[in-house]
Amino acid sequence: MHLDHSHPATPAVSADAHRPDGARRAIRIGLGGPVGSGKTATVAALCRALRDELSLAVVTNDIYTREDAEFLLREAVLPPERITAVETGACPHTAIRDDISANLEAVEDLEDAVGPLDLILLESGGDNLTATFSKGLVDAQVFVIDVAGGDDIPRKGGPGVTTADLLVVNKTDLAPYVGSDLARMAADAKAARGELPVVLQSLRGEAGVADVADWVRARLAAWTARA
Amino acid sequence: MTKAALLVLADGRFPAGGHAHSGGAEAAVRAGRITGAADLADFCRGRLHTAGLVAAALAGAAALGCDPVELDAAADARTPSPALRLAARKLGRQLVRAARATWPTPELDALARGFPKGAHQPVVLGLTARAAGLGPEEAAYCAAYESVSGPATATVRLLSLDPFDATAVLARLAPELDQVVERAVAAARRAALDGPGALPACSAPLLEIAAEAHAAWPVRLFAS
Ligand SMILES: Nc1nc2c(ncn2[C@@H]2O[C@H](COP(=O)(O)OP(=O)(O)OP(=O)(O)O)[C@@H](O)[C@H]2O)c(=O)[nH]1
Ligand SMILES: [Mg+2]
């Protein structure tokens, strides 16, 4: 048997806005940030907030377990076929930035299996302050830090804090207990980021993930209008 | 043909997914078979002359223009462990993506269409070398080198092994790499005339068995 050299629908290579069949692909939004800052909790809350209005799926990049994927499965935020775990060889930052091939496979397989999709959220396992997503993989990225990690993180900056399309300062409910100064964190973030948006949130509070969900809706609207 | 293309393709940072695989080193470390640089050298030597030789011959044959569908079947027949077949196909799929972005050719497009879930990585590697204007020898060098550089890099992470020691292990293996490549290319040339039956079929049973066990671990650092 030989390979057919004439067939038209060749699989996509990278961040092409359209699928091989010409349809628009889902917008891909990455969530990164230090260990335990609340990325998975934010993903779970976004799924609950958006799943009735959008068709969505999640890719997790765990360090060495399937824990993030399993948490989302346990919480039943989405049907299991909409959640995929990528193995990263203990290096999430490599899998989301330097060698994105496994993640591209995962997002394409999700679109094939459960598409058409409007939105794919990609979580990077907690890594370090320099971990950012490749533009070949995601269309926008959210960097999640928390008040308990120290209120000088926005001041120290780093590519995640300064360049992410959205900075989330999570766990504001804990600020009084860990002695973090929210006003200072907000001011430092503003200084480091200029016009780029910042959301302060507590997933334990009433508003929860509402601001981030609104930001996602706006990004999706812009993506749909463009592509 | 440009020789420098070989450097691009053989670079450990070539973005084709290799970083998430240990080439059996994670299972060997857990089993106590790799505890330091000396064991790593033994492990790599064993892998080079078995899985490495087979991969190099497959890559060489693909670079010579042998039918990739037949070569892929030959790779399956030489890979008893389903877990290793799956890993090889995943890596093949990732490599074909990187290759099509780097050295686009109709042949690579056809391969991506013919194997939507991936062909065996050494076959893809040979076709990638071909697309890059390289010959069977260069393809075989890439495959043989990857067969030992993967476990060496992974062991640095797994055991916090001194990276200088791991690199020295690879350097000491260089003369044997030359020999393996020579054998692999000779076999690839025979396969081009007589079919894939002429390719070597030397497997490493412990690598296959350990790969099956490793794939079932609930917690692991590497995908294979
Ligand atoms: N008090 C409080 N706890 C939160 C909030 N958001 C998340 N948490 C808790 O913080 C812990 C870590 O949250 P995760 O969502 O697992 O953090 P993560 O960033 O995904 O962690 P890694 O993936 O391990 O890097 C969990 O126990 C969450 O319940 C919040 O807004 N307030
Ligand atoms: Mg998480």
Contact call for B20 and A95, based on CB within 8 A: yes
pLDDT tens for chain B, 224 residues: list them: 678 999 999 998 899 999 999 999 999 999 999 999 999 999 999 999 999 999 999 999 999 999 999 999 999 999 999 999 999 999 999 999 999 999 999 999 999 999 999 999 999 999 999 999 999 999 999 999 999 999 999 999 999 999 999 999 999 999 999 999 999 999 999 999 999 999 999 989 999 999 999 999 988 889 99
Distances in whole angstroms, Cα of residue A47 to Cα of each of A84, A199, B7, B121: 14, 18, 44, 36
Per domain, the residue ranges of chain A are 27-226
Contact call for B97 and A102, based on CB within 8 A: no
Distances in whole angstroms, Cα of residue A85 to Cα of each of A58, A95, B120, B174: 9, 12, 22, 37
For residue A148, how far is its CA from the centre of ligand 2 (angstroms)?
16
Which one-letter amino acid corresponds to residue A111?
E
Cα–Cα distance for residue pair A225/A85, rounded to 1 Å: 30
Measured in angstroms, the CA of A147 and the nearest CA of chain B are apart by 30
DSSP letters of A109-157? HHHHHH---SEEEEEEPSB-TT----TTT-SEEEEEEEGGG-TTHHHH-
Measured in angstroms, the CA of A120 and the nearest CA of chain B are apart by 20
E strand or H helix that includes residue A159: helix A159-163
With tokens 């991506």, the residue in question is: B112
Give the CATH number of domain A27-226.
3.40.50.300
Domains and CATH numbers, chain B: 25-215 (1.10.4190.10)
- CA nearest neighbour of A55 among A227, A206, A168, A224: A224
Residues of B in contact with A7 (CB under 8 A): 110, 113
Cα–Cα distance for residue pair A96/A164, rounded to 1 Å: 14
pLDDT tens for chain A, 227 residues: list them: 677 665 556 666 666 777 777 788 999 999 999 989 999 999 999 999 999 999 999 999 987 767 888 889 999 999 999 999 998 887 888 888 889 999 999 999 999 999 899 999 999 987 777 778 999 999 999 999 999 988 888 888 888 899 999 999 999 999 999 999 999 999 999 999 999 999 999 999 999 999 999 999 999 999 999 86
Record the pTM.
Answer: 0.88
Strands A198-200 and A119-124, bridge-based pairing:
unpaired
Contact call for B69 and A2, based on CB within 8 A: yes
Tell me the three state secondary structure of residue A190.
Answer: helix
Closest CA in chain B for residue A20: B113
ipTM over cut 0.90: no
Q: Are A64 and B221 in contact (CB under 8 A)?
A: yes
Q: Are A179 and A147 in contact (CB under 8 A)?
A: no
